[in-house]
Amino acid sequence: MSKPKGGNKKHSKKADNKKAAKVDQNYSQDEEIRINKFIAHAGFCSRREADEYISAGKVQVNGQVITELGTKVRRKDSIVVDGQNLSLEPFVYLLLHKSKDVITTTNDEKDRTTVMDQIEDATGYRVYPIGRLDRNTTGLLLLTNDGDLAHRLMHPSYTVRKTYLVTTDTPLNESQLEQFLDGIELEDGEAKGYNITQFVDDPHSFEMSVFEGRNHLIRRMVQFHGTVVTKLKRVEYAGLTLKDVPMGRWRFLRQNEINNLRKLVKLDTLDFNKDN
């Protein structure tokens, strides 16, 4: 556990939103694809979740409800899942610096600001957040229509690192932070922190990494020591950072960043040299 002399630096350079690193899904109009793979590659949900929609009778192919999990479809078919028309659009990947009081959802019945409002007209394609950040949590959030990648990044078996800048109402001492390293017992099991850094110029703040995504995990870990989080920001996710992305702005992921994510969760890399 280290103690740097200063806090975090702010970056003011604007994000580069000019060109998306995207790759077409290389299926011909007549090539047969398993329906759950089609749904996942359309960015709607994971393959496992697609199977649940199919079993529940919420999937239509060319106007007919299908319930057989092994059904194969073609790119030119009409696919409707839970009332939404799906198509195999090029994969796109965005990194958003989420603001406070923004909801991590694609729509909100109370008409509150969502992450989709912050990337409005970004790509022209339907994208979804990978995981979520609480309304009052700011920081790094990825969005994509690559369903397989999103599912694996969120799955606990792939132990994706997430790093947070945490500010607490009452400062935590070195002994309390070391307890995070050793592991503390919460109501839903043990929770551990990694790579904890204290800030000398701000005793209320520290940086900590975790490798799981349980609900409100950081906040509950802090509550274990009898205080509360007053500010929470995700500053790193799977090796990606907020460098040069101001609050409320976004950028496209670069080709090497996309393939690094895919390799991290044991997916094949993408060929960006194909004609899109």
**Catalytic machinery residues:** 134
Q: How far is Cα of residue 222 from the mean position of the Cα atoms in its chain?
A: 23
Checking 112-117 for CB contacts under 8 A at 24+ apart, the result is: 115/141, 115/143
Whole-number Å distance between alpha carbons of 56 and 106: 22
HEC string of the chain? CECCCCCCCCCCCCCCCCCCCCECCCCCCCCEEEHHHHHHHCCCCCHHHHHHHHHCCCEEECCEECCCCCCEEECCCCEEECCEEECCCCECEEEEEECCCCECCCCCCCCCCEHHHHCCCCCCCCCEECCCCCCCEEEEEEEECCHHHHHHHHCHHHCCCEEEEEEECCCCCHHHHHHHHHCEEECCEEECCEEEEECCCCCCEEEEEECCCCCCHHHHHHHCCCCCEEEEEEEEECCEECCCCCCCCEEECCHHHHHHHHHHCCCCCCCCCCCC
